[in-house]
Copies of this chain bind each other. A is one copy, B any other.
Amino acid sequence: MVAVKKIGNQTIKLLNPPSIISTASIVGPKEGQGPLAKYFDQIIQDDLFGEKSWERAESKLIKETVKLALKKAGLHLNDIDYMFGGDLLNQLMSTSFAARDLGIPFFGLYGACSTMTESLALAAIMIEGGYADNVIATTSSHFSSAERQFRFPLELGNQRPLTSQWTVTGSGAVILSTKSEGPYITYITPGKVIDYGISDPNNMGAAMAPAAVHTIKTHLEDLAIDADYYDLIVTGDLGEIGKEIAKDLIKKEGVNLSNKFTDCGVEIFDPKKQDTHSGGSGCGCSAVVFAGYLYEQLKLKNLNRILLVSTGALLSQTSFHQGETIPAVAHAVAIECHLSN
């Protein structure tokens, strides 16, 4: 027994790549006014989603998104072996309560906004290793529950600096299966926790950019490929500022990303029209952009190979108040329409 699926320093090659057979995305009103609106399955008109608190609304987002992904795949809840997921709320409140109501064996994950690719990575391993037939990976975030927890009560109307990002309200769910129909998850590069000493919680893009760069560079080196192997390399939620920093940093590392690099946080909003400053963020950001927009591009073969690199800033209110800097992590998952040898 040896690690035959490990290549390079920290990459996993999935020898029997699992298929992504279904995705679903439900977003909030603001996301429904953004440039990707037509790719989301459902746009809720009230961010309480008929519930009495934002946290309950976020939990309902996950439940409804999971059910929708199942429906689109023609599967039922009891066809799913395991659920991997997480959110930004303390003690994964929204995902835990959703997992309770869904009744699927549950692995709770926390990687801040990197959780979508953490979840996809582990779900893919469960399928590829022969441990499960169908696994669901899901994450969520909610602007109002996140602001309440991490920043200030919304009622205060605090001003947001231009470096700040707008937490996406939404949930994305992805069903992975042993069925061979593609698109496939082919490689996984789990990230190291990287900290360049940024301590401003209103500039998380800058804190996360070095982690994204580390993971992308390691991935390309482990596979001995150039960035243009992919049609698109897409980070999670660096936002406008973080994306520019990442481009600069990776250029210094001698990697040319040219025009094949973007960021889910940049794509989801129109910052000028929507007043979202540096762009979108939150676990839900890369979740809905992948489950909505990117998955459709893969199915239509407009994109054939992408590297999804969700990025997470691992700060807490306590770490901030104790003067700690912001460590960050980025996990990469390669998704390809066709299998090479």
Residues on B with beta carbons closer than 8 Å to the beta carbon of A92? 110, 314
Residues on B with beta carbons closer than 8 Å to the beta carbon of A324? 97
Q: In the complex, what's the smallest C-beta–C-beta distance from A90 to chain B, in angstroms?
A: 5
Known contacts A55-B322, A107-B111, A194-B100; A93/B1 CB under 8 A: no
Are A319 and B91 in contact (CB-based, < 8 A)? yes
Are A100 and B327 in contact (CB-based, < 8 A)? yes
In the complex, 20 of the A-B residue pairs with CB atoms within 8 angstroms, ordered by the A residue number, are A3-B132, A6-B130, A10-B81, A10-B82, A90-B91, A90-B318, A91-B112, A93-B319, A96-B314, A97-B319, A100-B194, A103-B193, A107-B111, A108-B314, A110-B110, A125-B125, A125-B126, A125-B131, A129-B130, A149-B318
Residues on B with beta carbons closer than 8 Å to the beta carbon of A93? 314, 316, 318-319
- For the complex of A and B, list the 9 residue pairs with the smallest distance between their C-beta atoms, beginning with the closest: A129-B129, A91-B316, A96-B314, A100-B193, A100-B327, A105-B190, A99-B193, A110-B110, A108-B110
Q: In the complex, what's the smallest C-beta–C-beta distance from A124 to chain B, in angstroms?
A: 10
Residues on B with beta carbons closer than 8 Å to the beta carbon of A316? 89-91, 93
Are A322 and B53 in contact (CB-based, < 8 A)? yes
Residues on B with beta carbons closer than 8 Å to the beta carbon of A289? none
Residue of B nearest to A145 (CB): B318
CB of A186 within 8 A of chain B? no
B-facing mask of A9-36, CB < 8 A → 1, else 0?
0101000100000000000000000000
* A window 126-144: CB within 8 A of B: 126-133
Contact-residue bracket for chain A: 35 or more
Q: In the complex, what's the smallest C-beta–C-beta distance from A137 to chain B, in angstroms?
A: 13
9 more A-B residue pairs beyond the given contacts A91-B110, A96-B193, A100-B314, with a C-beta to C-beta distance below 8 A: A1-B130, A6-B132, A6-B133, A90-B316, A91-B315, A93-B314, A99-B327, A125-B125, A128-B129
CB of A273 within 8 A of chain B? no
Q: How far is the CA of A89 from the CA of B315 in the complex (A)?
A: 11
CB of A76 within 8 A of chain B? no
CB of A86 within 8 A of chain B? yes
Partner of A16, one of B1, B16, B193: B1
Are A3 and B327 in contact (CB-based, < 8 A)? no
Residue of B nearest to A189 (CB): B105
Residues on B with beta carbons closer than 8 Å to the beta carbon of A314? 91-93, 96-97, 100, 108
